[in-house]
Amino acid sequence: MTRRLPAEWEPQDGVMMTWPHDGGDWAPCLQEVEPVFVRIAVEIAKRERLLAVCRDEPHRRHVQDLLDGAGVDPDRVSLPCIPSDDTWARDHGPITVIEDGQPQLRDFIFNGWGGKFEAGLDTQITSALHAQGVFGDWPLQDIKLVLEGGGIETDGQGTLLVTRRCLLSETRNPGMIQERMETLLTQYLGVKRFLWINEGGMEGDDTDGHIDTLVRFSDPGTLLYQACDDLSDPNFGGLRAMEAELQTLRDAVANPYRLIPLPSTRPIRNAEGDQLPASYANFLIVNGAVLAPIYREPADAIVLERLAAAFPAREIVPIDCRPLILQHGSLHCVTMQLPKGVLAP
């Protein structure tokens, strides 16, 4: 039996989103953030299918109206109704592995990033989607381990990039040690090698250092990472130390990685003065394109150029994600790719 976690750049059936509503933390700024969700949905549906989870039937009709108004092909859209707490599909959506050439779905526990936020509804979304037949006849394994999709990054060839601060958090899996976590993820995801990151982190990040805000693969030999050159930025020390760590990493054939730094924005703050985690590493790879978060900042143009260099065969599509960071996440956080073959016809 062969088992592996596919890379994000492999062919996809679609992308899952969980749509914001007035019953969650987005309520005060729903009018500001919904257009971002629509923009992401439009770009997804141009290239593959969109699975957008709605809270209930009135919410589904509202989302359908928004997508219709944006010209989204209804044949590319599925809008199942399932109650939700929040919108972070990356962390409560299914994680897909390929086992003997066939997709298999994993449903890990989502506990609101270590109990920081209510997640009792969100952690049930994947099983509810499966029960509704969204994933056809593919099996779903219920795993009694807390793990979020934003906490893992793979090259599709058996290497997993993770941060110790997140995966070994006492508020997720108390008493978990590195060796045990490696054993479990080797079993469940088919991981062959682990690259553990100690450093890095961003102000305003609720996730204890999700790797998808810090470092991403663009191919098995290339890492894009969130950098910072501003000595006055609170993120400077951690990101500079992470950069030094990345320089010591080696790929599966013992070569150093090609490293592409993504510059930071100037500090962006909310109304209370808190710095928000405006990560450029939080991009989403879809069929034929990369959806790139931008923040109305001078660094946007540089980032788009560097993403184009890292993904020469893909269209780079900028998405204004400044409203998303008001709730401390960005583009990758609100999406979960569904590899080819996962969705029911």
pLDDT digits (tens, 9 = 90+) for 181-226: 999 999 999 999 999 999 999 999 999 999 999 999 999 999 999 9
CA distance 98 to 154: 13
What is the CATH architecture of 3-339? 5-stranded Propeller (3.75)
Cβ atoms of 345 and 293 closer than 8 Å? no
Could you list the beta-strand ranges (E) of 200-239. 215-219, 222-226
**Vertex 44, ends 41 and 48: CA angle to 5°?**
135
Determine the Cα–Cα distance for residues 145 and 186; give it in Å rounded to an integer.
13
When the pLDDT of each residue in the chain is averaged and rounded to a whole number, the result is 98
Residue 1 binned pLDDT confidence (cut-offs 50, 70, 90): confident
> Average pLDDT in the 224-243 region?
98
What pLDDT was estimated at residue 34?
98
pTM greater than the 0.95 cutoff: yes
Quote the tokens at residue 242.
């992470």
Check residue 282 and give its pLDDT. 98
- Percent of the chain exceeding pLDDT 70 equals 100
Handedness of CA 237, 238, 239, 245 (dihedral sign): positive
> Average pLDDT, stretch 314-336?
98
Q: What six digits make up the tokens of 227?
A: 């950098």
